[in-house]
Structure 1
Amino acid sequence: MSGAPTRERLPAIPAEPVCLLLVDDQPENLLALEATLAPLGQRLVTASSGREALRHLLTQDFAVILLDVVMPDMDGFETAQLIRERERSRGTPLIFLTGLSRGPHPELRGYAMGAVDFLLKPFEPAILRSKVSVFVELHRKTELVRRQAEALREAQQREHARELLEAQRRVEAERLRSETNRNQQRWLEAALAALPMPLALVEPGSGHTLLANRAAQGLAGAAWPTARRARCMRTHASAARMAGCSRMKTCR
């Protein structure tokens, strides 16, 4: 007995640690960042230059990037510009960290490049952890929505495939029923044709002859049209139903 289709429950997605990218050319600054953020329990990935940071971004997604402004070869602003030019990392939150002031308003330049915050060194560890934890939670929720949407899409595809299969089965069952009916019709016609007695299928009311076997067709030409005058010995209801007619008469 078929009931209403059941909805697939979306799988629970565990809260896995997310990746945080820490970029600073000074090893002691990286150690300080790692010590500050370690209590959050996330994966901390370090880079000592802008180029190394870009290499990490080729293969990984990050919840947030902490980026030192003053670095040799490629400073934080140049690194941020390249990060924003890449489709994969364009939306990754950036937090600039700096101990020096380059230009009248370096924070304005950072915000213009899409930074979400601009912190001066030395920073307060608790404040930095609080800011980073916000982006960790945001990244988790975004990833959860993405995975659930993917799971829902896959469930809908499976449901569509099941519905299509059921429709194909119904079509095949109808085809088999039609084929069976045709075979029964052919069998009945052959059986009637082989009978030695004159026999015909007559439409009720109109008296129109639907089928006559060879014995009936062999009657004199004038005799068969006046078959209504013949005495009908029996009505075979079951055979008539198989032939799609309501009455079948055997005449003599």
Structure 2
Amino acid sequence: MTRYAGFKLLIVDDHAHNLFTLRTLIEAHMDVTVLEAHSGQEAIDCTHQHPDVDLIILDVQMPEMDGFQTASLLKMRKRTRDIPIIFLTAAFKSEEFQQQGFAVGAADYLLKPIEDNQLINKISTYFRLIEKERELNRTLEQKVAERTLELAEARQYLENILTYMGEALLVLEPDGTIKLTNPAARQMLGYSAEELTGMSIGDVFEEEGDAEAGAFMGTWLEALIRTGALSKIEARFIASDGRRVPILFSRTAVKDSAGHISDIICIAKNMTGYVRVEKEADPTRHRAAREVN
């Protein structure tokens, strides 16, 4: 039989002989630490001194505070409410008392006389359940820790991408309010992250041909809803000092499970220093003109 080393068992009885008999039996079959209490109040005090008690065997018939009252108080306290309690009694054998024991939170209600091996098997059953629960908790905690680490690494990976990408990134609410920016966008616009958050895209962006700052948002959304993205366009950022920064700009809609736009992702490339090259005219056209002349 497994010896269950490391477990703590509290036995509670107002008769010293009963405590001695029970301790002798348990220690003959298990390597558990056995704690004793001679009254309900001693049992409560013991759980304060030993918060790691795993199981309590509790006599019902005790003076001043009986087993039912003791169990009720133990179940009321956060640190002891989850400790399994086994009532073990030679009196109070009626079904009514057994129901009362379960009503106050007992895990089991055993009647004396009980055969030694049967009692040891019963105690072992609870220790096995406790072991299994603890193993499950350890496994769960390990999985949670691993998942937390994975999420932290993924978050750091994405943050590095956003931090070091050369293009400006702005994430907008569907109404055009800026909710997130990367360092390149803040550097290009000359604003801090706090200053940009909550601003409208119309405050920092102008598109050729827009008569009003708010007019193009409606056009954007209509096109984004239809296609999910808009091709790159030439536009300008309005920096904090009023400068117009030429950009190549693209917009993409992110939709939720219901098909509604939840975010608009805007990416802008700084085109300062780039020169637009016009297409060369048809050379045959110039040759024909020279022949006419």
Q: 1:143-185 CA distances to partner (integer Å, 9 max, x unpaired)?
A: 2222222222222111111111111111223138979xx9x98
Closer/same/farther in 2, CA of residues 104 and 131 from structure 1, 3 Å limit: closer
Q: Which residue of structure 2 lines up, in the alignment, with residue 49 of structure 1? A: 39
Closer/same/farther in 2, CA of residues 108 and 26 from structure 1, 3 Å limit: same
Q: CA deviation at 1:103?
A: 7.6
Flag the structure with higher helix content: 1
Q: 1:65-124 CA distances to partner (integer Å, 9 max, x unpaired)?
A: 100112222111110111222233333322112233488843332233232332333432
Flag the structure with higher strand content: 2
Q: CA deviation at 1:29?
A: 1.6
Contact preservation (8 Å) 1:50, 1:74: yes
Q: Which residue of structure 1 lines up, in the alignment, with residue 137 of structure 2? A: 146
Contact preservation (8 Å) 1:18, 1:140: no
Closer/same/farther in 2, CA of residues 102 and 139 from structure 1, 3 Å limit: closer
Kindly provide the amino acid, as one letter, of the partner of residue 56 in structure 1: C
Distance 2:147 2:95 in 1: 56
Contact preservation (8 Å) 2:13, 2:38: yes
When normalised by structure 2's length, the TM-score is 0.52
Closer/same/farther in 2, CA of residues 29 and 205 from structure 1, 3 Å limit: farther
Q: 1:54-74 CA distances to partner (integer Å, 9 max, x unpaired)?
A: 123335244321001122221
Q: Which residue of structure 2 lines up, in the alignment, with residue 167 of structure 1? A: 158
Distance 2:117 2:45 in 1: 29
Q: Which structure is higher in RCO with an 8 Å CA cutoff and minimum separation 6? A: 1
Q: CA deviation at 1:134?
A: 0.6
Distance 2:42 2:20 in 1: 17
Q: Does 1:30 align with 2:14?
A: no
Distance 1:103 1:158 in 2: 55
5+ residue gaps, structure 2, are 169-183, 188-246, 248-269, 288-293
Q: What is the aligned length?
A: 181
Q: Which residue of structure 1 lines up, in the alignment, with residue 59 of structure 2? A: 68
Distance 1:35 1:43 in 2: 12
Q: Which residue of structure 2 lines up, in the alignment, with residue 204 of structure 1? A: 279
Q: 1:5-50 CA distances to partner (integer Å, 9 max, x unpaired)?
A: xxxxxxxxxx862222211122222221122222222222222221
Contact preservation (8 Å) 1:30, 1:46: yes
Closer/same/farther in 2, CA of residues 172 and 50 from structure 1, 3 Å limit: same
Distance 1:47 1:78 in 2: 15
Kindly provide the amino acid, as one letter, of the partner of residue 204 in structure 1: K
When normalised by structure 1's length, the TM-score is 0.60
Contact preservation (8 Å) 1:61, 1:89: no
